[in-house]
């Protein structure tokens, strides 16, 4: 089972006004009206559904723009749902790499004529694309979960594990794109990898999660959001297992164990894709300094432990140095603040650096 690609896919954004006063994360009435007019202009030639919004009690409109962006809009609020990957590449066969996020945001701004960075995230998907040596249609019975927190179901060719907060969707990309203009591209990937099928695993972090914590589109390029996302991904697919020795090398193969990875190694794979080495230290310091804000001491230690394991596994600046005086000053400071070195080493290190 080969992990060939992973990255961002679908996102849902809400453009709205603060209930009581203007803030840096909301939009003015004029901005929302302009956005509404722009979206309605872009709806030309598409089927438009009309309905009364239950919250604002005004006429609202639902439609697709070029079959790519799902819109729900009125003069007070607009919601857009679309694939970040499609916005950049024209398709979502591959997930969108973190380095391409600024391009996706710029493309969206050019399309809708308003700065989207203050829009509130209501859903985000992160996908993993695998090459496997068995057809997805034959694998359904071997993909299971041992927890009651996820409800298993099938719809057409897709397999779902979901609850109110999170959802995992698995399907064959060969089947999905079979009749699309990208069928040849998918077939080319399949032949290059020399596999029987290409499986897509989508981790969907839904609205219920974002009711508890607010992120804007601008946050999507920040380290804090990436750590949050990696934690959500890990918790979402941690309990799903493949159990079929005929199509996979291991007799008991879990999604989280990509190509034989351990649980922590999988988390590190997600996190290292999203965060630079400096980002680890920034997050680690922030977690440590704000430990009193965690809902429990156990949760604080769990998060801190995850970061420690991830950091120690990297071949980054601190880990690649044989002598203390080779470690950059800013990293040394962070390491000492967080207890990386024994306290008695501090004086020795200071004398070396000076």
Q: Nearest 5°: CA angle at 53, between 48 and 54?
A: 150
Q: Which range has the worst mean pLDDT, 91-95, 231-235, 271-275? A: 271-275
Structural domain for 342, as ranges: 292-353
Please give the Cα distance from 150 to 139 (Å, whole number): 19
Residue with tokens 């999988």: 266
Q: Are 76 and 16 in contact (CB under 8 A)?
A: yes
Q: Choose one of 274, 306, 334: the last residue of a domain.
A: 274
pLDDT digits (tens, 9 = 90+) for 5-58: 888 999 999 999 865 445 556 799 999 999 999 999 999 888 999 999 999 999
The distance in angstroms from the start CA to the end CA of the chain is 51
The per-residue pLDDT for range 45-91, each reduced to its tens digit, is 889 999 999 999 999 999 999 889 999 999 999 999 999 999 999 99
pTM assigned to the model: 0.77
Task: Report the chain's mean pLDDT, rounded to a whole number.
Answer: 78
Q: Is residue 200 one of the residues assigned to a domain?
A: yes
Q: 333 with 239, same domain? A: no
40/132 same-domain check: yes
Q: How would DSSP label each residue in 29-93?
A: HHHHHHHHHHHHHHTTTS--EEEE-TTT-SEEEEEEETTTEEEEE-SS-EEEEEEHHHHHHSS-S
pLDDT tens digits for range 102-130: 999 999 999 999 999 999 999 999 998 88
Give the closest residue to 168 by CA, choosing from 212, 213, 205, 138. 205
Residues 6+ apart with CB under 8 A from 188: none
Q: Tell me the pLDDT tens digit for each residue of 141-178.
A: 778 887 778 889 988 778 999 999 999 999 999 999 98
Predicted local distance difference test score (pLDDT) of residue 221: 85
Residue 280 domain-assigned (yes or no) = no
The reply to whether 218 and 308 lie within a common domain is no
Contact 278, 226 (CB under 8 A): no
Residues 251 and 298 occupy one common structural domain: no
Average pLDDT over residues 263-288: 63
Please compute the mean of the pLDDT values over residues 190-200 and round it to a whole number: 90
Whether residue 207 is found in the same domain as residue 171: yes
Q: Please tell me whether residues 120 and 32 are part of one structural domain.
A: yes
User: Are the CB atoms for 19 and 277 separated by under 8 Å?
Assistant: no
Task: Give the model's pLDDT for residue 340.
Answer: 45
Whether residues 198 and 248 fall in one domain? yes
Q: Inform me whether the pLDDT recorded for 230 exceeds 60.
A: yes
CA distances from 225 to 76, 112, 218 (A): 27, 24, 10
Q: Answer whether residue 282 is part of any domain.
A: no
% of the chain at pLDDT higher than 90: 40
Q: Does one domain contain both 203 and 330?
A: no
Shared domain for 184 and 267, answered yes or no, is yes
DSSP string, 173-216: HHHHTTTSTTHHHHHHHHHHHT-SEEEEEEEEE-HHHHTTS--B
Domain count, the chain: 2
Helix H or strand E segment including 6: strand 2-15
């Amino acid at each position: 089972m080969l992990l060939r690609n992973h990255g961002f896919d679908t996102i849902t954004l809400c453009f709205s006004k603060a209930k009581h006063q203007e803030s840096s994360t909301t939009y003015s009435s004029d901005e929302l009206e302009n956005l509404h007019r722009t979206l309605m202009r872009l709806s030309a030639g598409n089927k438009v559904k009309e309905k009364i919004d239950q919250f604002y009690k005004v006429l609202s409109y639902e439609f697709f723009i070029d079959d790519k962006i799902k819109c729900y809009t009125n003069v007070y609020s607009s919601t857009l749902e679309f694939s970040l990957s499609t916005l950049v590449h024209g398709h979502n066969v591959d997930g969108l790499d973190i380095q391409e996020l600024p391009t996706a945001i710029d493309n969206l701004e050019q399309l809708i004529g308003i700065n989207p960075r203050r829009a509130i995230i209501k859903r985000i998907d992160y996908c993993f694309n695998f090459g496997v040596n068995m057809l997805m249609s034959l694998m359904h019975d071997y993909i299971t979960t041992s927890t009651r927190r996820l409800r298993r179901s099938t719809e057409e060719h897709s397999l779902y594990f979901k609850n109110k907060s999170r959802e995992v969707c698995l399907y064959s990309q060969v089947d999905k794109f079979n009749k699309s203009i990208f069928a040849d591209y998918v077939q080319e990937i399949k032949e290059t990898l020399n596999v029987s099928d290409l499986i897509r695993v989508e981790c969907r972090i839904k609205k219920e999660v974002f009711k508890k914590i607010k992120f804007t589109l601008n946050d999507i390029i920040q380290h804090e959001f990436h750590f949050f996302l990696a934690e959500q991904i890990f918790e979402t697919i941690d309990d799903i297992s493949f159990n079929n020795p005929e199509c996979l090398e291991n007799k008991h193969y879990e999604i989280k164990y990509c190509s034989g990875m351990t649980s922590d190694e999988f988390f590190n794979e997600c996190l290292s894709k999203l965060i630079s080495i400096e980002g680890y230290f920034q997050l680690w310091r922030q977690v440590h300094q704000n430990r009193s804000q965690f809902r429990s001491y156990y949760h604080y230690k769990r998060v801190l432990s995850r970061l420690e394991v991830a950091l120690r596994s990297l071949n980054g600046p601190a880990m690649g140095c044989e002598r203390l005086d080779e470690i950059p000053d800013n990293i040394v400071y962070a390491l000492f603040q967080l207890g990386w070195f024994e306290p008695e080493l501090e004086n020795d290190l200071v004398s070396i650096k000076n």
